[in-house]
Amino acid sequence: MSTLNTPHSAHYLNDTRDLWWNADFLELVATRTGLRRVQRPLDVGAGLGHWTRTVASLLSPGARITGIEREATWVERAMGTVDHAANDVVIDFVQGDVHALPWPDHTFDLVTSQTVLIHVPDPAAALAEMVRVLRPGGVLLCAEPNNLGQSVSSLVGDPHFELDDVVALFRLQATCEKGKHALGLGYNSIGEHLVRFMPDTVDLLGVWNNDRCTTFRNGDDHSARPEVLDALRVNDDGFGWPREEAHRYFLAGGGDPATFDTDCARANRLLRDHWHRTAQGAGRNEGGLFYVLAARKSEAR
């Protein structure tokens, strides 16, 4: 089946997402934003519910968190995970879209999302809709990456890296990210600019970097193994995107059609060699350029 006809983000939804955050960092975010007082939160673009369940673990008993997801396939599968709730928090999932949330104004005291704004054509409009259903005094909490920066940084930690290969990968990935944006499908590195899209009805509480760093240590640290295997799977036939999807973005980003096959093969070889060396015990660290933004809806709005 064409990857363009599968449910959104099918290539990326897996349990490695449960490894993206340190628990004590999330507790710090919860303390800074008062999440223990939240009783009615909403997770927008919930996917399979990984972030929904993570946020649920930070709430007090009796809270009820709803995850809204546009793909019916993911809603059905996420519903099968509700028994995994922590802290006696109730979790449910509904189908819907960030651009037209099916609730009246001022319904929730927390609205949150993870890796959702990278997929929407107009982040400011999506955030305005999220804030609309947030009660005055409620918290907006968004987590978004800089995928382009993270991809390159993971390849240049060794002074012997091949400059031409990394430059070629950067050019290819940057072209695809621009093409994805040109097609109205979002921008994969929006994390650097989250503040730009905040509506004037919220007051910024803070922006923090995810502090989790994965250590791949001489093949001994098996806790890193799921991330290695996931990286190999994601780059199986492309370089972060499936090849068919990457080709579409590349052309939309102004890439030369005559160079795509060669460029894609070069990037795929570089990334697979990189991850195979890691799997075989090439010790290194990898941190994510992942931003967490918190804001509070003004009491007067």
Q: Are residues 118 and 196 in the same domain?
A: yes
Q: Are residues 57 and 155 in the same domain?
A: no
Q: Are residues 194 and 225 in the same domain?
A: no
Q: Say whether pLDDT at 240 is over 80.
A: no
Number of domains in the chain: 2
CA angle 38, 131, 96 (to 5 degrees): 90
Average pLDDT over residues 86-113: 94
Q: Are residues 193 and 300 in the same domain?
A: yes
Q: Say whether pLDDT at 75 is over 80.
A: yes
User: CA-CA distance, 57 to 272, in Å (whole number)?
Assistant: 35
pLDDT of residue 1: 42
In contact, 97 and 167? CB cutoff 8 Å: no
Report the CATH number at residue 96. 3.40.50.150
More confidently predicted of 5 and 231:
231
Taking each helix axis as running N to C, give the angle between helix 225-234 and helix 260-279, from 0 to 180 degrees, rounded to the nearest 10: 160
Q: Are residues 162 and 204 in the same domain?
A: no
Across 42-46, 228-232, 240-244, which has the greatest mean pLDDT? 42-46
42-46, 50-54, 86-90, 259-263: which has the minimum mean pLDDT? 86-90
Q: How far, CA to CA in Å, does 138 sit from each of 23, 92, 112, 120, 227?
A: 23, 20, 11, 23, 35
Q: Are residues 223 and 83 in the same domain?
A: no
**Binning pLDDT at 50, 70 and 90, where does residue 96 land?**
very high
- The helix (H) or strand (E) run that includes residue 36 is none
In one-letter notation, the amino acid at residue 147 is N
pLDDT of residue 218: 60
pLDDT of residue 3: 52
Average pLDDT over residues 131-138: 97
Closest CA to 123 of 151, 99, 101, 94: 99
Closest CA to 6 of 283, 184, 241: 241
In contact, 129 and 218? CB cutoff 8 Å: no
Q: Are residues 227 and 97 in the same domain?
A: no
Q: Are residues 166 and 277 in the same domain?
A: yes
**Binning pLDDT at 50, 70 and 90, where does residue 220 land?**
low
Q: Are residues 181 and 133 in the same domain?
A: no
Q: Are residues 135 and 232 in the same domain?
A: no
Supply the range of the domain harboring residue 44: 1-145+189-214+288-301
Q: Are residues 1 and 60 in the same domain?
A: yes
Start-to-end CA distance of the chain, whole Å, equals 47
Q: Say whether pLDDT at 160 is over 50.
A: yes
Q: Are residues 179 and 86 in the same domain?
A: no
